[in-house]
Amino acid sequence: MVLVYAESPKGQFKKSALEAVTYGKMVADAMGTSCTALVIGNAENAGQLGKYGASKVVQANGAFENFDSQVFATVIANAAKEMGAGVVIVNHSSSGKSLLGRLAVKLDAGSVSGVNSLPTVDGGFKVKKNVFSGKAIAEFEIKTAVKVLSLMGNSFPPAESGADVAVESMDANAPAAKITVKAVQTVDGTVPLPEAELVVSAGRGMKGPENWGIIDELANVVGATTACSRPVADIGWRPHHEHVGQTGVAIRPNLYFAIGISGAIQHLAGVNSSKVIVVINKDPEAPFFKAADYGVCADLFDVVPKLTEAFKKFNAAQ
Ligand SMILES: Cc1cc2nc3c(=O)[nH]c(=O)nc-3n(C[C@H](O)[C@H](O)[C@H](O)COP(=O)(O)OP(=O)(O)OC[C@H]3O[C@@H](n4cnc5c(N)ncnc54)[C@H](O)[C@@H]3O)c2cc1C
Question: Which pLDDT score, from 0 to 100, does residue 311 have?
Answer: 97
CA distance 239 to 212: 12
Mean pLDDT in consecutive groups of 10 residues from the start of the chain, 318 residues: 95 94 98 98 94 97 88 96 97 95 98 96 94 86 98 93 95 89 78 90 98 97 97 96 93 95 96 95 98 98 98 94
- Per-residue confidence (pLDDT) for residue 62, from 0 to 100: 83
Q: What is the C-alpha separation between 222 and 229, in angstroms, rounded?
A: 20
What does the pLDDT read at residue 212?
97
> Any alpha helices (H) in 84-141, and if so which ranges?
94-106
pLDDT at 13: 95
Pocket of ligand 1 (CB under 6 A): 203-205, 229-232, 245-248, 260-262, 264, 266-267, 270, 280-283, 286, 299-301
Distance of CA 102 to the CA centre of its chain: 20
Q: Which domains does the chain have, with CATH numbers?
A: 2-171 (3.40.50.620), 193-317 (3.40.50.1220)
pLDDT at 192: 86
- What pLDDT is stored for residue 195 in this prediction? 85
pTM (whole model) above 0.75: yes
Q: What is the pLDDT of residue 133?
A: 72
Confidence at residue 186, expressed as pLDDT on a 0 to 100 scale: 74
CA of 312 to the centre of ligand 1 (A): 29
Q: What does the pLDDT read at residue 185?
A: 79
Among 268, 208, 280, 250, which Cα is nearest to 113's? Answer: 250
SS3 of residue 29 by DSSP: helix
Taking CA atoms only, the protein residue closest to ligand 1 atom 27 is 204
